[in-house]
């Protein structure tokens, strides 16, 4: 399955709320709000990463800054359409022959040739067509 990804910065500060008294509770509330906001758009939370970034510091200096990022993913639209489309299964040419419970060597009944009742004195042959049948008198 193919996915598309979205990376957003993690919140730097917590949100104030009545139930969130400690800084840890406030920060957890801010993270929860971001996760729920992205989930409403169909994004699945994947992980949090801390990645370095080299940024300018002053006129000529450079400094390495670390960023906290939240990574999300969701299936691409093409993958969603394929998942919604029913899988086509190969259908057997003769469903009677492929029916479960029947031995593989059994022949399906042939509906095109009517069954002819045997004549008196004529041997019964299931697989021999009537034109190929011979009697003892013909031999």
Per the document, the length of the chain is 139
Domain assignment present for 97: no
Cα–Cα nearest to 28, from 44, 40, 10, 41 = 10
Domain assignment present for 55: yes
Q: What is the pLDDT of residues 58-97, one digit of tens each?
A: 999 999 999 999 999 999 987 667 777 665 555 556 555 5
Contacts of 44 (CB under 8 A, 6+ apart): 72, 73, 74
pLDDT per residue of the chain (139 residues) written in tens, 0 to 9: 899 999 999 999 998 888 888 999 999 999 999 999 999 999 999 999 999 999 999 999 999 999 999 999 999 987 667 777 665 555 556 555 555 555 555 555 555 555 565 565 555 555 555 555 555 555 5
Q: Say how many domains are in the chain.
A: 1
Domain assignment present for 123: no
Give the global pTM. Answer: 0.55
Range of the domain at 39: 3-84
Domain assignment present for 26: yes
Domain assignment present for 92: no
Domain assignment present for 32: yes
Domain assignment present for 113: no
pLDDT, residue 133, reads 55
Cα–Cα nearest to 97, from 110, 84, 112, 114 = 110
Domain assignment present for 63: yes
pLDDT, residue 16, reads 86
């Amino acid at each position: 399955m193919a996915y598309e990804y979205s990376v957003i910065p993690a919140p730097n500060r917590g949100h104030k709320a009545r139930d969130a008294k400690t800084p840890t509770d406030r920060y957890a509330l801010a993270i929860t709000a971001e996760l729920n906001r992205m989930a409403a758009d169909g994004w699945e939370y994947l992980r949090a990463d801390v990645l370095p970034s080299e940024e300018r510091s002053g006129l000529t200096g450079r400094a390495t800054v670390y960023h906290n990022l939240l990574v999300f993913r969701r299936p691409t639209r093409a993958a969603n359409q394929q998942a919604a489309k029913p899988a086509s299964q190969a259908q057997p040419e003769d469903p009677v022959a492929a029916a479960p419970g029947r031995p593989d060597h059994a022949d399906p009944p042939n509906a095109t040739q009517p069954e002819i009742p045997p004549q008196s004195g004529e041997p019964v042959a299931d697989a021999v067509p009537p034109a190929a049948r011979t009697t003892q008198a013909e031999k």
